[in-house]
Amino acid sequence: MSDPWGTDALDLPAYLARVAPGTLPGAAGASLLNLLHVAHATALPYDNIDLLLDRAPSLYVPDIVDKMCRRPRGGCCHEHNLLFGCVLERLGFHVERLAARVVLGGRGPRPRTHMALRVVADGDAWLCDVGFGEEGFLAPLPLREGEVTGQGSRAFRVRAHRGHQCRVEVNRNGAWECLYLLSLEARPPVDFAVANHYVSTHPRSMLKRELYLQRLSGATRLKLRGHTLTRVTGDHAEESSVGSDALPEVLNAFGIGLREEELAALRRRVTADI
């Protein structure tokens, strides 16, 4: 049987060395799934740098490993979740790739450009998403109607929605908000090739408008959007303005290192936004 996602081409030792050294021994099933999800979400930052530099991210698994595991870089949702899905399949999990319409932070009809994963562990279905760049969750969510999962100062749930979809919601400051509308139909690789092309090239793509970085830990959420750096601890948020001169220091805080030519190009891009 052919391998449509590139799972056979995955360098699993390189991934584990970057993301989860020492995680595998003694863990299995849902426990292992949870450990890996948290490890990936905290080790690998979200970044849309390639899109701002007019480079479409490669969805070829060895390229993603080179970028995110052998360099101090992050990536966008397709890179994160495609990589994570291949890791899980190599470890024996059943994985389906799902497409979603991002609702948070936007208005009007939105295309299905986001990737998330449906994973079966210990007989239960879980929603995994290590690549949502805004208000993402650290650990998998149970794909059970309305079940609330608390994670730090946030709570998450999955609710049924019309048209064979579900709403993935976050509760912050006492109010439920929809992150995205998730289609429960498994999608083939070609659908995400089209989605990746759209978010990388379309002038209305949210990911081409401004620099967006995120790094999670168990206690804090560090975000950069445009020139605003936000550190969220619990329900407390601190904001500061970031200029292009401070870019190397800020990138380092997110665990991101760029080559000299990349940094110069990114500085020109963010300076043009001022």
**Which residue in 114, 128, 166, 227 is the catalytic one?**
114
Active site residue 191: no
**Which residue in 128, 129, 166, 227 is the catalytic one?**
129
Determine the length of the chain.
274
Q: Fill in the amino acid letter for 172.
A: R
Output phi, psi for 189, to 5 deg: -55, -35
Q: Report how far residue 196's alpha carbon sits from residue 14's, in angstroms, rounded to the nearest whole number.
A: 24
Q: How far is CA 190 from CA 38, 97, 193, 226, in A?
A: 28, 12, 5, 31
Q: Fill in the amino acid letter for 237.
A: A
Which of 214, 259, 262 has its CA nearest to residue 76? 214
Which distant-in-sequence residues (6+ apart) come within 8 Å of 219 by Cβ? 152, 233, 234
Strands (E), the chain: 46-47, 94-102, 112-121, 124-128, 141-142, 149-151, 154-161, 165-172, 175-183, 212-216, 220-225, 228-233, 236-241
Output phi, psi for 106, to 5 deg: -135, 170
Active site residue 129: yes
Active site residue 3: no
**Which residue in 37, 50, 69, 77 is the catalytic one?**
77
Structure tokens, 42: 């905290």
Residues with catalytic annotation? Answer: 77, 114, 129
